[in-house]
Structure 1
Amino acid sequence: MVLSRVLGLGITAGSILLFVPQIIKIFNAKSAKGISLISQLLALVAAAGTASYSFNKGFVFSQWGDSFFVAVQLMIIVMQILYYSDASAYAFAFFAFCWAFVFAVIGNYVPSDFLTLIQALGIPITVASKSIQAWQNYREQSTGQLSLVSASMQLAGTIARVFTSVQDTGDNLLIASFAIAAVLNAVLFVQFFLYWNEAKRKKMR
Structure 2
Amino acid sequence: MSADAMLQAVNLSTMLSCMVLKFPQIFLVMKMKSTKGLSLPALLMELTGYIVFVTYQMTNEYPVPTYLEYPVLIAQDTILLMLILHYNGNLRQSVIYSALFVGVWQLLTLQRWIIDLAMSFCTLISAGSKLVQLQCLWESKDSGQISILSCALSSYTCLARIFTTIMTTGDLQVLARFIVITVLNVWVTATALRYRQSCKKQD
* TM-score calculated relative to the size of structure 2: 0.89
Match of 1:48 among 51, 60, 82: 51
Provide runs of 4+ in structure 1 moved above 6 Å: none
Conserved? CA contact 1:8–1:164, under 8 Å: yes
CA distance in 1 between counterparts of 2:63 and 2:154 reads: 21
Which residue matches 2:80?
Answer: 77
Which residue matches 2:9?
Answer: 6
Q: Deviations over 1:43-101 (max 9, x none)?
A: 11111111111011111111111222212211221222112111111124434554566
CA distance in 2 between counterparts of 1:197 and 1:53 reads: 40
CA distance in 2 between counterparts of 1:8 and 1:92 reads: 34
Whether 1:186 and 2:202 are equivalent positions in the alignment is: no
CA distance in 2 between counterparts of 1:112 and 1:159 reads: 28
Show structure 2 runs of 5+ residues with no match. Answer: none
In the TM superposition, residue 111 of structure 1 has moved relative to its aligned partner by 2.1
Whether 1:38 and 2:64 are equivalent positions in the alignment is: no
1:1-205 pair list within 5 angstroms = 1-2=3-4, 3-95=6-98, 97-98=100-101, 104=106, 109-200=109-200, 204=203
RMSD over aligned Cα atoms: 2.0
CA distance in 2 between counterparts of 1:59 and 1:13 reads: 20
CA distance in 2 between counterparts of 1:23 and 1:92 reads: 20
CA distance 1:96–1:16, change in 2 (3 Å): farther
Conserved? CA contact 2:109–2:115, under 8 Å: no
CA distance 1:158–1:109, change in 2 (3 Å): closer
Conserved? CA contact 1:19–1:73, under 8 Å: yes
Show structure 1 runs of 5+ residues with no match. Answer: none
Secondary structure of 1:195's match? helix
- Percent identity over the alignment? 22
Secondary structure of 1:88's match? coil
CA distance in 1 between counterparts of 2:34 and 2:97 reads: 19
Secondary structure of 2:55's match? helix
Secondary structure of 2:178's match? helix
CA distance in 2 between counterparts of 1:13 and 1:116 reads: 29
Secondary structure of 1:58's match? coil
Count residues in correspondence. Answer: 200
CA distance in 2 between counterparts of 1:99 and 1:28 reads: 30
CA distance 1:92–1:30, change in 2 (3 Å): farther
Query: Which amino acid in 1 is paired with 2:178?
Result: F
CA distance in 2 between counterparts of 1:118 and 1:83 reads: 30
CA distance in 2 between counterparts of 1:79 and 1:95 reads: 10
CA distance 1:174–1:95, change in 2 (3 Å): same
* TM-score calculated relative to the size of structure 1: 0.88
CA distance in 1 between counterparts of 2:110 and 2:29 reads: 33
Conserved? CA contact 1:5–1:164, under 8 Å: no
